[in-house]
Amino acid sequence: MLSVKPYRGSRDFYPPEMRFRKWMFSRLRSSVEQFGFEEMDAPILEPIDLYLAKTSEEIVSTQIYTFKDRGDRQMVIRPEMTPSVSRMVAGKFRDLKKPIRWYSIPNLWRYERPSKGRLREHWQLNCDIFGAPDPFWADLEILHLAVTLLKNFGADHTMFRVKMNDRRIINYLFENVLKIQADWWAPVARIMDKKEKIPRDEYMAMMTAAGLGDAQIASVDLYLENPARFFADHRDGSPVFAEMEKLMAVAAESGLRDYVEYDPSVVRGFDYYTGFVFEIFDLTPGNNRSLFGGGRYDRLLENFGIQSANAVGFGMGDVTLQDFLESHHLVQNPDKLVHVYLAVFPDPSLLPHALNIASDLRKAGLNVEMNLGQKKMGKQFQEADEKNIPLVIILGEEEIKNNSVQMKNMKNGTQNQVFLENLQESIQSEWEKIYAAKN
């Protein structure tokens, strides 16, 4: 017998889960559109070269789903959206009005060990700004958008924190403090990224294996544990320290004071980031996976021949967002929205009339579920009740003769006759009562 389970690390979306997903995504879409972003999409399959150019070695070497197509081309099921968005922006770069503000909610595949907050297939809201006249304000806009997305679900600063850093600060550490060669930077950065997630012994062993001596590891520790001192010691060495302080200060002044903090351990696993980077964490201890990750990646478009196109954005996963909303009781799972259940006396000759009434109501924009079988009336009421449809229209021979129906409010039990010419208005006013009773 075949298994009825979905593939490991992926999910089936039965109607209740789909309803939840649609609710969550429609909230995200309306928040993002408040910031003037436009939705786009790309193919789920891309040639492997797109990811080899400049991405995360961990993803390419251990997490991509890859196969050869019938023409012997090595293909990848997209593990992230940033390379595809960049390819599309580059494809029409000259024609697109800048700054470009695009968003998408693609499903992505990564061969991960499934755990809390991590699956093999997830959906990820991606928001990116390309070609801003002043990248500083694009970074700030991205921060505001990220915070607003969570606030629009009812979240506040007691529930999450934006932790930010700048890749150039880490590069400064590598170049001027550790003085290590450039091809060591990415591997060392990835180990730093793991520091809080792995035991100290393992961390030390990885750093040593990467070629760092004890004094260098101590410098990394000082940077990670006392960033204020690190900033003070090196402020004169690079303008990036003042830039980070300015971003923190303007973010604080513009309403994000309680939401953002500098965190030297935020590195981000992808090699394409060039400046500001951030992650958002749930403050609930059990949900320790990041909710969002993003940053500035000014050089990715160079792979497609577009020079100096600044870019900044983030990805936010549906799995971690759902965990977040559930742990803070912010889920408002909407009921299936059927406005009316059309109950028909069990007589086949009535069905054509019922179909006409249903069509008229649907044309008027109402969602109508019609009884399809020859069920007894009691069973039809029960079905409407079980499906949580608050309004039932009843059609029998008498009603057809009078050009009317009976309308029953399942919430308060009232029932009355309504003439067909008044049906839409009557449904509307009954629904107003149902809404009023709900709120």
Please report how close the Cβ of residue 319 comes to ligand HAM at its closest, in angstroms: 4
User: 316 to 345, contacts with ligand HAM by CB under 6 A?
Assistant: 316-317, 319-320
User: 281 to 320, contacts with ligand HAM by CB under 6 A?
Assistant: 290-294, 313-317, 319-320
Please report how close the Cβ of residue 308 comes to ligand HAM at its closest, in angstroms: 18
Q: Per CB under 6 A, does 31 bind ligand HAM?
A: no
- What's the chain's length in residues? 439
Please report how close the Cβ of residue 321 comes to ligand HAM at its closest, in angstroms: 7
- CA gap 262, 417 in Å, rounded: 66
Give the residue with the Cβ less far from ligand HAM, 56 or 404. 56
User: 99 to 128, contacts with ligand HAM by CB under 6 A?
Assistant: 110, 112, 118-119, 122, 124, 126, 128
Give the residue with the Cβ less far from ligand HAM, 165 or 380. 165
Q: Tell me, by CB under 6 A, how many residues bind ligand HAM.
A: 22
Please report how close the Cβ of residue 25 comes to ligand HAM at its closest, in angstroms: 14
**Main-chain phi, psi angles of 424, to 5 degrees:** -60, -45
Binding-site member from 32, 80, 168, 287 for ligand HAM (CB under 6 A)? 80
Give the residue with the Cβ less far from ligand HAM, 223 or 292. 292
- Residue 285 contacts by C-beta under 8 Å, 6 or more apart in sequence? none
Q: Is the dihedral of CA 87, 93, 96, 101 positive or negative?
A: positive
Please report how close the Cβ of residue 310 comes to ligand HAM at its closest, in angstroms: 12
Nearest to 268, CA basis, from 89, 52, 10, 59: 59
Query: In this chain, which residue has its C-beta nearest to ligand HAM?
Result: 317
The answer to whether the CB of 275 falls within 8 A of the CB of 138 is no
Give the residue with the Cβ less far from ligand HAM, 107 or 424. 107
- CA gap 202, 185 in Å, rounded: 19
Torsion of CA 234, 235, 237, 241, to 10 degrees: 110
Give the residue with the Cβ less far from ligand HAM, 142 or 344. 142
Please report how close the Cβ of residue 292 comes to ligand HAM at its closest, in angstroms: 5
- CA gap 207, 192 in Å, rounded: 9
User: 233 to 272, contacts with ligand HAM by CB under 6 A?
Assistant: none
Please report how close the Cβ of residue 103 comes to ligand HAM at its closest, in angstroms: 10
User: 365 to 404, contacts with ligand HAM by CB under 6 A?
Assistant: none
Give the residue with the Cβ less far from ligand HAM, 82 or 371. 82
Give the residue with the Cβ less far from ligand HAM, 121 or 399. 121
- CA gap 223, 206 in Å, rounded: 18
Please report how close the Cβ of residue 55 comes to ligand HAM at its closest, in angstroms: 9
Please report how close the Cβ of residue 269 comes to ligand HAM at its closest, in angstroms: 7
Give the residue with the Cβ less far from ligand HAM, 63 or 219. 63
Nearest to 273, CA basis, from 93, 56, 74, 429: 56
User: 124 to 143, contacts with ligand HAM by CB under 6 A?
Assistant: 124, 126, 128
Give the residue with the Cβ less far from ligand HAM, 108 or 389. 108
Binding site for ligand HAM (CB under 6 A): 80, 82, 110, 112, 118-119, 122, 124, 126, 128, 290-294, 313-317, 319-320
